[in-house]
Amino acid sequence: MSNSKCSICATGIVPAGLARSAPMSCATGDICYLRESLATPVEYILQATEVIRQDPVALQRSKAALRDLRSRSIGKYRPCLLVRNAIPGARPATEFLMGTLRREPIESPSIPKVYREFCRAIYPNSGFLDSAHFHTTPPWPHSSQWLVSYPIPLGDNNLVTVHWRFKDESTPAQVYAMDKASLEALTVHSRKTFKEWQARCNKEPEFARAVETEWRVRSAALRPRRRSISDKYLHGSELLCFSPTIATYHSRAK
């Protein structure tokens, strides 16, 4: 929803019932904390795009890139919106990943075009042109946050167990979350976005191929320069709780 259509912006009324204190288990709608690359949802998007699926070379490139991202645990710790948590050992958690795109304008030539198609603003980021934005409760504290509006499964079946918090929030704070109505609106919006993308790519295969080619070039440049555990947000003792991708059920249980 654009600013003019957003009921929260129009009325100033934030849905009630979200004020919860951390720590508690991670639930649908919560903003959680995990290690994943913003490249991962792009590979899922490409592999779901019919034009790419029909191109064996492009499809293999994407599959190899996703394997590499997952096997080497490339990516940094970042916020994610939990769509549903895992069933340990049986089903992975599903998430919308969030990122700041290095706080560069999304129109910047250095930002891959595919992000312009799928990134949606988290208010007070007001987005670009007439694109949708979404709110969290409490309000997100900076205006550089984006969410890739394509939900992805995590790489293992471990529970997501850690809520997002900023570095100055070392004591238990309110859980950042998206209310049920906003999450539903986002889910509907993300399906519509992908449907429109698929239709455009089918109509203009050259557009899809150009976006994929540009992505391959740019994503290499966007990879983290070092694979450190960038953990200014965590205390040292908590680092032990993380698997290569997310906080694990088993290590939390120890």
**CB closer to Zn ion out of 96 and 123:** 123
Binding segment (CB under 5 A) for Zn ion, from list 7-15, 46-54, 93-101, 169-177: 7-15
CB-CB contact of 99 with 41 (8 Å): no
Contact pattern from residue 188 through residue 207 relative to Zn ion, giving x for each residue in contact according to CB under 5 A and a dash for the rest: --------------------
In our burial notation (b when 16+ CB lie closer than 10 A, e otherwise), range 76-85 reads ebbbbbbbbb
CB-CB contact of 8 with 135 (8 Å): yes
Binding segment (CB under 5 A) for Zn ion, from list 6-14, 48-56, 166-174, 206-214: 6-14
- Say which residue the tokens 């959680």 belong to: 32
**CB closer to Zn ion out of 82 and 121:** 121
Q: Give the Å distances, CA to CA, from 88 to 73, 202, 251.
A: 19, 38, 12
Residue number of the CB atom closest to Zn ion:
6
DSSP 201-242: HHH-HHHHHHHHHHHHHHHHHHS-SS-----TTS-HHHHTTB
Binding segment (CB under 5 A) for Zn ion, from list 2-10, 85-93, 108-116, 148-156: 2-10
In whole angstroms, how close is the CB of 135 to Zn ion at the nearest point?
5
DSSP conformational letter for 159: P
In whole angstroms, how close is the CB of 252 to Zn ion at the nearest point?
35
- 3-state class percentages of the chain: helix first, strand second, coil last, to nearest 5: 35, 15, 45
**CB closer to Zn ion out of 13 and 57:** 13
CB-CB contact of 58 with 231 (8 Å): no
Contact pattern from residue 150 through residue 189 relative to Zn ion, giving x for each residue in contact according to CB under 5 A and a dash for the rest: ----------------------------------------
Residue 9 as a binder of Zn ion (CB under 5 A): the answer is yes
In whole angstroms, how close is the CB of 8 to Zn ion at the nearest point?
4
Q: Give the Å distances, CA to CA, from 234 to 72, 141, 224, 226.
A: 21, 18, 19, 18
DSSP conformational letter for 102: G
Q: How many binding residues for Zn ion (CB under 5 A)? A: 3
In whole angstroms, how close is the CB of 123 to Zn ion at the nearest point?
5
Residue 8 as a binder of Zn ion (CB under 5 A): the answer is yes
Contact pattern from residue 85 through residue 124 relative to Zn ion, giving x for each residue in contact according to CB under 5 A and a dash for the rest: ----------------------------------------
In whole angstroms, how close is the CB of 10 to Zn ion at the nearest point?
8
Q: Give the Å distances, CA to CA, from 107 to 27, 123, 190.
A: 33, 18, 20
**CB closer to Zn ion out of 37 and 125:** 125
Half-sphere exposure of 122 (CA within 13 A, CB side): 28
Which residues contact Zn ion by CB under 5 A? 6, 8-9
